[in-house]
Structure 1
């Protein structure tokens, strides 16, 4: 599948060494890379459908300081969707109240028919982009009924129920930023780790520093991060994802089909 990374802090920090370590995993995740640096006044999002280790553009980016307090990174091992730029993470969309949302995903949606209606609306053809469109639709509906913008506590409560429902029989390791706060969810054992220190919070599929204090993210919970702290934490749900032989065979068959279509990956 994919690997995901985020950094959340109360003030901008340089994260180049973490990013270099993260993108070094691209040999096993060759189908694209992405980077999002979410500032208060603008979002810088860059992505390419090439192996991160082969990207001259990424080398140029990492040759200069990457500084921010809300940063996402992604390397893709495709399980749904072709190897094209619109299918690379992060995905972003503006909601009806002009908040810019950003999402990265490690996992696969095997069964959630409610996402099907977004196939004609997305720019690419991934389940991950459809997740973002679906969640924003629900936020828009909630705020329309309320008649005003929601606060982070209300959005957390709404997303908690939506993500719990989405996670049933699906792998759903998610990182989401709504322009104000960050949301983290994992439902597979030992598939996401975090490090809390004086700089903030680092979260990644595998540790990206030599620090011995990395710990597994608690599964089946939604966390809300703000300024390098856990602002909110949900109760545990019961939808732990355990990969079946059938699902693994499906994923491997899809990856093999991409290799046949595209030859050797860049």
Structure 2
């Protein structure tokens, strides 16, 4: 599937070393890379549909200090969608109140019909981009009914309900940022870890250094971070994802088709 990474802190920090360790995993995740940072309250996003280790653009970025309070990264192993730039994470979209939302996803949506309606709206053809459209529609519906922008707690509660529904029968390791909150969710064992320190929060698919304090992200809960601290934590849902032979076969068949397309090109 993919690997995901985020850094959340109360003050800007340089995190080149962490990013270099993360992108070193790209040999097993060769179908694209992405990087998102917040600068002056705007997202700066770079991404390419090539292996991170082969990207001169990424090397150029990492040759300079990468500094931020909120930084997100992704390396892709395609399970849904072609190997093209619009399918690389992070995805970004605005709601009706001009709030920008960013999403990166590690997993596959095997069964959630409401996402199908977004196939005609998305820029690429991934289930991950559809998740973001779905979230924004639910936020818009709430704010239209309220007649005012949502609070951070209201947005957290909305996403808690969305995540619980989406996670049933699907692998849903997510990192989402709405300009205020960083949301973290995992529903598969040993697939997302965090390290809390004085520097802030690091979260990654696998530990990216030898620190012994990495811990598994608690399953089946949505967490919200601000300034390196958890400020909201949901109740635990029951939708743990366990990879079955049927899931593995579906993923293998798709990856075979990807390899055929690459070889034919």
> What TM bracket, shorter-length normalisation?
over 0.9
Report the 3-state secondary structure (helix = DSSP H, G, I; strand = E; otherwise coil) of the residue aligned with 1:36. Answer: strand
Question: Where does residue 91 of structure 1 map in the other structure?
Answer: 91
Structure 1: distance between partners of 2:66 and 2:180: 20
Residue 130 in structure 1 maps to residue 125 in structure 2 = no
SS at match of 1:111: coil
The CA deviation string for residues 182-239 of structure 1, in whole angstroms up to 9 with x for no partner, is 1000000010000000010000000112211000000100000000000100011000
What is residue 150 of structure 1 aligned with on the other side?
150
Alpha-carbon shift at residue 263 of structure 1 (Å): 2.3
Q: Deviations over 1:40-80 (max 9, x none)?
A: 42211000000000000000000000000001000000000
Cα RMSD (Å): 1.1
**In structure 2, what is the equivalent of residue 121 of structure 1?**
121
TM-score (norm 2): 0.99
Q: How many residues align?
A: 265
Distance in structure 1 (CA, Å) of the matches to 2:264 and 2:42: 36
CA apart distance, 1:118 = 0.4
1:68-217 residue pairs with structure 2 within 5 A?
A: 68-217=68-217
Mapped to 1, the partners of 2:92 and 2:263 lie a distance apart of: 30
Match of 2:5 in 1: 5
User: 1:245-266 deviations in whole A, cap 9, x for unaligned?
Assistant: 011011011111111110299x
Does the aligned pair in 2 maintain the 1:37–1:43 contact within 8 Å?
yes
Matches within 5 A, 1:39-58: 39-58=39-58
Cα shift readout 1:146-171 (whole Å, capped 9, x = no counterpart):
00001110000110011100000000
Distance in 2 of aligned mates of 1:6 and 1:12: 13
Question: Partner of 2:38 in structure 1?
Answer: 38
Q: For residues 146 and 40 of structure 1, what CA distance do their matches in structure 2 show? A: 29
| C-alpha contact (below 8 Å) 1:39/1:70 kept by paired residues | no
Three-state SS of the structure 2 residue aligned to 1:263 is: helix
The answer (yes or no) to whether the contact 1:10–1:226 under 8 Å persists in 2 is yes
- Equivalence for 1:59: 59
Matches of 2:71 and 2:40 in 1, distance apart? 12
Alpha-carbon separation, structure 2, partners of 1:12 and 1:208: 20
Gaps of 5+ in 1: none
Q: Distance in 2 between matches of 1:62 and 1:15?
A: 10
Q: Post-superposition, which runs of at least 4 consecutive aligned residues in structure 1 deviate over 2 A?
A: none
